[in-house]
Structure 1
Amino acid sequence: MAFASATQAIIRTAKGVKVLTMSSNRPRYGFDRYSSVRIAYGPSFAPDGQHVSFISDITGVPQGWILDLTTGRIDQLTLFGERVSSAVISPTGKSLGFSMDPGGGERHQIWSLDMESLAAKKLTVGDDWIRVFGSFSPSGESVCYASNERDEKFFDIYTSTLATGEKNLAYQNDATNYPLDWVDKDRILFTKANTNLDNDLYLLWPETGETAHLTKHSGEASFDYAGHARDMNTLYVLSNKDREFLQPATIDVGTGHLDYLIEEDWDSIGGRISLDTRFLAYFRNVDGASRLHIYDLEKKQDSLVDGLPLGAYESPVVAGHNLMDWSPDSKHLIFSLQGPKHNLNLWLYDTEDQSVRQATFVPTAAIPQSNLVEPEGLRFPSFDDLVIPVWAYRPANGRGPLPTVVFVHGGPESQETARFNIIVQYLANRGFLVLAPNVRGSTGYGKKGVHLDDVDKRLDSVRDLEYLVKWAVGKGLAKQDRVGIVGGSYGGFMVLSALTEYPDIWAAGVDLVGIANFETFLENTARWRRHLREAEYGSLENNRELFKRISPIHQVDKIKTPLLVIHGANDPRVPIGEAEQIVERLKGLGRHVEFLRFEDEGHGIAKIPNRVKAYTAIGDFLERTLLAPEKPVPNA
């Protein structure tokens, strides 16, 4: 798109050039600029308390970096062409343990970096298997990690010595097990994922393979590890055992008894205990916005930290679990935060004066903060009067009704939060109204709410989208016949399902790495994921007829609107075949479909050059389809 005037835009079509009146006279930026906004996340304190390792894509691919808190200077530690997904400094500060993902296929491998010589060494052998980093041993001489090398369906726990690379199978079990913390020289704490919404914590003695189950429970419950007392008699967790929402709690290691520290009607996320065990830091997820809390365990007092912008404690889909860390002296907390007006960066909280400040300032591609849009939290009634939350991103000076894009999150056990979303910001900058709902089945609204779309209730969440469009048009927000829909992963399924279930209300669709056919998806997704996904979607053994009824591939002839499909060839979660079959069917029907395939990407677009290409295609596609001049009404 080129410039015409402050309030006009030029659209080039096959039939010539059209000038459209737009809603804002602010500068308009290309997707190449939005795609070049960088991120920083995953902090880990060095023992000196002055240096912090983190992950950033400043070079175009996520790599390990180091931050000097005294000077604010950053330097690059790892120098690879593939994505580094997590990085942790050892207790001695002599080594950096990190995971790297060759080809975007999420087959992470474990590496170490000598912090003096900066020499990198691969600790795991065989790129066909997935390794998930756990933690260093207290001495810093070894690491623990999970691997599915014995059987790709299951994850066992291994230890490896840095000096020799010698590995040891510490725990073998036909389940999904991930080490969390090497709590003392004799024991490792690990989690067993029963489903995406239910887990258990265990202690493991790696020398003997003996385990102790700490979280026996009935019914669905999560136990998110936040740390332990110095004597290891107490664990700190965020749990929803016998509750609707995740809350800070303690677990007695000897008895397994759980006590809640504080309870509110919103989830707590991201807990971490300070090393002196005085403070528990966590975020309260209030309707998709993250608010930092510090719980003083001595005073039994909970405090909300002021000074943070509207934002979300959230990292990229493929990242380690260390999104916050305490300094060794427990005076500072460093954490990852992003928001509609703030790209993902590290922030620092000081316990002495309760101040908070941004610690890293990775590039924003020179987009002024004033040109970024903060959403308004709205609600609309669905078909059964269930009230659905929706973030509304209005373009500057925009007056409805406007061309509109509905942006649907993935998961589905996920939530559209107050995050930095480059697709949303680009579209708002171009004059679109963007509506980002949290349809039924989203997380963040209680244990009951997340199950409202399970198995045979799958299409109820798609119906929420129909009612969103009707509501937005009725309220004069959205322009009828100029509504598109965009979604990734499970959100891609929602796009395809919306186009087949309610074809008359959409003018365009964009499917990023989405599911077209639940049968082929469950047959071909990574084998370790299948049992975790069947808890949400249903199983191949019991629900094939349901899958045939609700899978968009079986109703593809109903799709009337132009569709753009984007997918990575190495996607282990939603294999490339999901995109290929929907594209092939639509082409066979002579429908308008465009396909962009990336040979060096997986589930999502990680590399900056690929992201520029993919997101520029999205922008061009939506402008061609949703901003095209209206056809004149013939004379009666």
Structure 2
Amino acid sequence: MRTIPSLSMALLALSAAACTAHAPATADAPATADATAASTNATTSQAAPDYAVTFNGRDIDLRPYVQGFPYSGFAPSLEHDFLLYFEATPEGTWMRHIAGLPTSGPVDLSQGRKLNDIDWSTRNFWGGEFNATLNAFIFRGDENNNERINIYTLDLETGQVSPLTDVDYIYALGFSDDQRLMAYVVRQGQNEPFNSCLRLRDLSTDEEREIWCDQGGADRLTWSGILFAPDNQSLLLNLQHDGDRRTSNLALVDLNAPADADDAPRQLLERGVKHLRLAILDDSFDGERFIYLSAHTGHDVLYSYDLASGSATPLADLEYELSGWTLVDVEGTERLLVLLDHPTGSIAELRDAATGELLQRETFTERLALTDAHNDELALRSSSVRTPFKLQRARLIPTADAARPYTLTAQPLAMLPPELVRALIHCDVAQVSFETFDQVAGQPRTLHAFYFTPRNSPQNPDQRLVRITAFYGGGNYFSTSNQIMCEAGVATLSPAPRGSWGFGAEFAALNDGDLGGDEIIDLFYAARWLEAHHGYTPAQIGVYGSSHGGYATMRALTFPPETNQRHESYNFGFGLSHAGFSDILSFYETSNIPDWVILEAGDPATQADKLRDRSPLTHIERLQAPLLLTHGSNDSRVPVEESRQLARAAQSTGAPVTFVEFEGQGHGINGLENTLRYYRAIFSFLEDQVLPRAENPTHEASATP
């Protein structure tokens, strides 16, 4: 198995790391959907869990959602013919292994061998790949959900897990084609500027040397893929300039240069260009040429780079945003497979790897994700807002049809039983759009959203509630959280406010430097759309989110109308914030991703007053609506103190804040008992704090500014 190139590695965001860290992970993608990480605490009690929750006179059985399909984190290896995955049980979350993938029909997941007694709900697992030199699976992860990410080996026979590194954080990891050499980037220190170093280890001898350290200078190592040249004399990776995530570069590193060299590696692209998205295609580096992606034009473009001439040639101007790519070998011919995301599905393109010529294009209503590839075989994960997770093994086969030169045959590897799917679906889903406050080319800007409505809505219209996703909404993926809410009679509007991915790099960059500004006003217009088109009152409309979305929830409930001189406000009825930050300055000082703050909010060294004003804690006196805060005690991305300090401040002002802390949890909430506790907290909060106000509203907001 090889790690499929992940743009999220090079572009690690607050909400999404390499491990799909949408928080709380089990709320948005629990056991019924694939998740690439298992990270939170599970009960060790042998007592049978209580799956029942009640809300507004309804009894909701959570068992189908959390135990109907208790498997997640699927990591197939087509080359080495095995499958790794996790099973959530009342006793813990176990890693399981199946050797030998079936040639037809799905895998029997109940027969997977439990590899060890590690409860993987107590640690992060960020994926990896099998290494032939060590005859082991090498992965990145931590040991207690604190995102002190290191490199580990997993023996697939004995299940033994052993550390290969003991450092503060691993930015990047890559292997030579012969799998003998391992290069990795270690970040050292707890505060910006970090001193990050590129290290090279010979796995056959365990000898290691330091190649280059950035000393926290102007050119810095960062999240990246690492690609070796075939002769193992050089490698490619990403650099970041001046702590700015958008201003990045590609660098060629000479592995024979002295370790104490003062000069940065050879930079291949013009320095200072804001690429917005920049990544190298795995396996494309032949020592002279490679393929890379840049969005410096405002949208995704593929390029071929020639080292001898130092020039880049455009290969393909992509219509939509790239979500996955790989080289495939079909009967000796190399092709480039590109997956593109759009709001209602995915597009798969096959291109000539040398020229970029489009050979074939297929459209899918589900969102496709590439999890592995080998020769002409692919492992594809799919889901949509209407259809749960499915993992398929696919093969590209040449045809005699010039219009469609290849056909894609697929067989399921893992999927939910049809009867379980029927038990999980409680929402009707509609794709909608609404106008927001500003204009594009003289016309009102229109934002995309999905609207999830309960199939069994409350008979009393005064008891209706609806949540608005703060960040990151609008995605075409299956959400178990939305289905649970629909069964409880609660609707969800999932919009894509400015700053969301899926609509081009230019749209994603609209909120850069404006954290807590216009992105929040987009949520106000979403709420006004719900009033105008579905008759909700402000007291019935809430906002919710995790991480950046948790902050946006707090901010929406404490928003000063004078922000950006827009004179906008909205009196939301409630808020649900998980792992949000309440003070941007303290978040910057304590988070493990401070460069995200500089990108999204501004530089604390020069813009402290602005960042303080954009902090919900500064405007706690504006908080009137009930707010539920949930947070893991071991969270290093957004430390738990960010929720604690807001809860303390609310106590002093009398604001209606409920705080629930999850001991031992990281940035997400997983593990069976913790997932159940999370939903109990939500429904108790909605029942006790929100429904009475919705039925007897004491404040209103106009449907227009």
TM-score by length of 2: 0.76
Contact 1:35 1:608 in 2 (8 A): yes
- Select 2:327's aligned residue among 269, 273, 279: 273
Q: Letter of the aligned partner of 2:358 in structure 1?
A: Q
SS at match of 2:642: helix
- Select 1:285's aligned residue among 341, 366, 373: 341
Kindly tell me the number of residue pairs found equivalent between the two proteins.
Answer: 591
Contact 2:289 2:304 in 1 (8 A): yes
- Select 2:527's aligned residue among 445, 458, 469: 469
Q: Does 1:523 align with 2:589?
A: yes
- Select 1:406's aligned residue among 459, 468, 471: 468
Q: Does 1:383 align with 2:437?
A: yes
- After superposition, the Cα gap between the structure-2 partners of 1:362 and 1:149, relative to the gap in structure 1 and judged at 3 Å, is farther
- Select 2:675's aligned residue among 603, 611, 629: 611
Q: Does 1:206 align with 2:252?
A: no
Q: Letter of the aligned partner of 2:349 in structure 1?
A: H
What is the CA–CA distance in structure 2 between the aligned matches of 1:57 and 1:523, rounded to whole Å? 36
Match for residue 6 of structure 2? none
Match for residue 20 of structure 2? none
Match for residue 142 of structure 2? 101
SS at match of 1:600: coil
Contact 1:39 1:343 in 2 (8 A): no
Q: Letter of the aligned partner of 2:558 in structure 1?
A: T
Structure 1 residue 310, shift from structure 2 partner = 2.2
Compute the RMSD of aligned alpha carbons.
3.4
Instruction: Specify which structure has the bigger relative contact order, considering alpha-carbon pairs within 8 angstroms and separated by 6 or more residues.
Output: 2
Contact 2:389 2:415 in 1 (8 A): no
Contact 2:467 2:491 in 1 (8 A): yes
- Select 2:454's aligned residue among 388, 395, 412: 395
More deviation, 617-626/435-444: 617-626
Q: Letter of the aligned partner of 1:500 in structure 2?
A: T
What is the CA–CA distance in structure 2 between the aligned matches of 1:43 and 1:277, rounded to whole Å? 27
Contact 1:268 1:282 in 2 (8 A): yes
SS at match of 1:261: strand
SS at match of 1:235: strand
SS at match of 1:219: coil
SS at match of 2:582: coil
- After superposition, the Cα gap between the structure-2 partners of 1:64 and 1:238, relative to the gap in structure 1 and judged at 3 Å, is farther
Structure 1 residue 230, shift from structure 2 partner = 6.8
More deviation, 536-545/64-73: 64-73
What is the CA–CA distance in structure 1 between the aligned matches of 2:379 and 2:74, rounded to whole Å? 9
Q: Letter of the aligned partner of 1:130 in structure 2?
A: Y
Structure 1 residue 56, shift from structure 2 partner = 3.5
Contact 1:44 1:87 in 2 (8 A): no
Q: Does 1:422 align with 2:480?
A: yes
Q: Letter of the aligned partner of 2:578 in structure 1?
A: L
What is the CA–CA distance in structure 1 between the aligned matches of 2:689 and 2:87, rounded to whole Å? 32
- After superposition, the Cα gap between the structure-2 partners of 1:461 and 1:510, relative to the gap in structure 1 and judged at 3 Å, is same
SS at match of 1:155: strand
Q: Does 1:591 align with 2:640?
A: no
Q: Does 1:186 align with 2:233?
A: yes
Contact 1:272 1:325 in 2 (8 A): no
SS at match of 2:340: strand
- Select 1:304's aligned residue among 346, 355, 361: 361
What is the CA–CA distance in structure 1 between the aligned matches of 2:116 and 2:233, rounded to whole Å? 31
Q: Does 1:148 align with 2:210?
A: no
Task: Report Cα offsets for 1:6-59 as digits up to 9, x if no partner.
Answer: xxx9977xxxxx758xxxxxxx744454344545456453545xx144453545
Structure 1 residue 516, shift from structure 2 partner = 0.8
What is the CA–CA distance in structure 1 between the aligned matches of 2:395 and 2:228, rounded to whole Å? 27
Contact 1:312 1:417 in 2 (8 A): no
More deviation, 192-201/166-175: 192-201
Contact 2:240 2:247 in 1 (8 A): yes
Contact 2:53 2:62 in 1 (8 A): no
Structure 1 residue 393, shift from structure 2 partner = 1.1
Match for residue 645 of structure 2? 581
| 1:33-432 mapped onto 2 (5 Å cutoff) | 33-36=64-67, 38=70, 40-41=72-73, 43=75, 45=77, 47-48=79-80, 51-58=81-88, 60-61=92-93, 63=95, 65-66=97-98, 68-70=100-102, 72-73=107-108, 74-77=112-115, 79-81=117-119, 82-91=123-132, 94-116=135-157, 118-125=159-166, 129-132=168-171, 134-149=173-188, 153-162=194-203, 165-173=206-214, 174=216, 175-177=220-222, 178-184=224-230, 185-194=232-241, 195-208=244-257, 211-216=265-270, 218-221=272-275, 222-229=277-284, 231-241=286-296, 243-274=297-328, 278-287=334-343, 289-297=345-353, 300-305=357-362, 308-311=364-367, 313=369, 324-327=371-374, 330-352=375-397, 353-361=407-415, 366=420, 368=422, 371=425, 373=427, 375-384=429-438, 385-396=444-455, 398=457, 402-410=464-472, 416-432=474-490
Q: Letter of the aligned partner of 2:378 in structure 1?
A: L
What is the CA–CA distance in structure 2 between the aligned matches of 1:532 and 1:630, rounded to whole Å? 36
What is the CA–CA distance in structure 2 between the aligned matches of 1:196 and 1:372, rounded to whole Å? 40
- After superposition, the Cα gap between the structure-2 partners of 1:342 and 1:476, relative to the gap in structure 1 and judged at 3 Å, is closer
What is the CA–CA distance in structure 2 between the aligned matches of 1:312 and 1:628, rounded to whole Å? 42
Match for residue 3 of structure 1? none
What is the CA–CA distance in structure 2 between the aligned matches of 1:391 and 1:633, rounded to whole Å? 27
Q: Letter of the aligned partner of 1:521 in structure 2?
A: F
Structure 1 residue 615, shift from structure 2 partner = 2.9
Unaligned 5+ runs, structure 2: 1-51, 398-406, 439-443, 562-568, 699-705
What is the CA–CA distance in structure 2 between the aligned matches of 1:512 and 1:181, rounded to whole Å? 36
Q: Letter of the aligned partner of 2:186 in structure 1?
A: S
Contact 2:233 2:254 in 1 (8 A): yes
What is the CA–CA distance in structure 2 between the aligned matches of 1:457 and 1:150, rounded to whole Å? 26
What is the CA–CA distance in structure 2 between the aligned matches of 1:474 and 1:97, rounded to whole Å? 53
SS at match of 2:517: helix
What is the CA–CA distance in structure 2 between the aligned matches of 1:134 and 1:515, rounded to whole Å? 29
- After superposition, the Cα gap between the structure-2 partners of 1:245 and 1:582, relative to the gap in structure 1 and judged at 3 Å, is same
Structure 1 residue 190, shift from structure 2 partner = 1.7
What is the CA–CA distance in structure 1 between the aligned matches of 2:413 and 2:597, rounded to whole Å? 37
Task: Report Cα offsets for 1:512-571 as digits up to 9, x if no partner.
Answer: 011211121112222xx2234202211112211112322111111221121110111221
What is the CA–CA distance in structure 2 between the aligned matches of 1:356 and 1:552, rounded to whole Å? 49
Task: Report Cα offsets for 1:354-400 as digits up to 9, x if no partner.
Answer: 12343223789945366154632211111223212111112225599
- After superposition, the Cα gap between the structure-2 partners of 1:57 and 1:217, relative to the gap in structure 1 and judged at 3 Å, is farther
Structure 1 residue 484, shift from structure 2 partner = 1.5
- After superposition, the Cα gap between the structure-2 partners of 1:463 and 1:112, relative to the gap in structure 1 and judged at 3 Å, is same
Q: Letter of the aligned partner of 1:439 in structure 2?
A: P
More deviation, 601-610/292-301: 292-301
Unaligned 5+ runs, structure 1: 1-8, 13-17, 21-27, 314-322
| 1:543-554 mapped onto 2 (5 Å cutoff) | 543-554=607-618
Task: Report Cα offsets for 1:461-514 as digits up to 9, x if no partner.
Answer: 111111111111111253442111111111111111111128863221111011
Contact 1:273 1:280 in 2 (8 A): yes
What is the CA–CA distance in structure 2 between the aligned matches of 1:171 and 1:64, rounded to whole Å? 38
More deviation, 577-586/361-370: 361-370
Q: Letter of the aligned partner of 1:428 in structure 2?
A: C
What is the CA–CA distance in structure 2 between the aligned matches of 1:616 and 1:256, rounded to whole Å? 59
- After superposition, the Cα gap between the structure-2 partners of 1:239 and 1:467, relative to the gap in structure 1 and judged at 3 Å, is same
- After superposition, the Cα gap between the structure-2 partners of 1:19 and 1:64, relative to the gap in structure 1 and judged at 3 Å, is closer
SS at match of 1:103: coil
Contact 2:64 2:424 in 1 (8 A): no
What is the CA–CA distance in structure 1 between the aligned matches of 2:465 and 2:638, rounded to whole Å? 30
Contact 2:386 2:429 in 1 (8 A): no
Match for residue 318 of structure 1? none
SS at match of 1:157: strand
Q: Letter of the aligned partner of 2:325 in structure 1?
A: G
Task: Report Cα offsets for 1:66-102 as digits up to 9, x if no partner.
Answer: 4632263544546522332212012569221112212
- After superposition, the Cα gap between the structure-2 partners of 1:592 and 1:251, relative to the gap in structure 1 and judged at 3 Å, is same
- After superposition, the Cα gap between the structure-2 partners of 1:149 and 1:443, relative to the gap in structure 1 and judged at 3 Å, is same
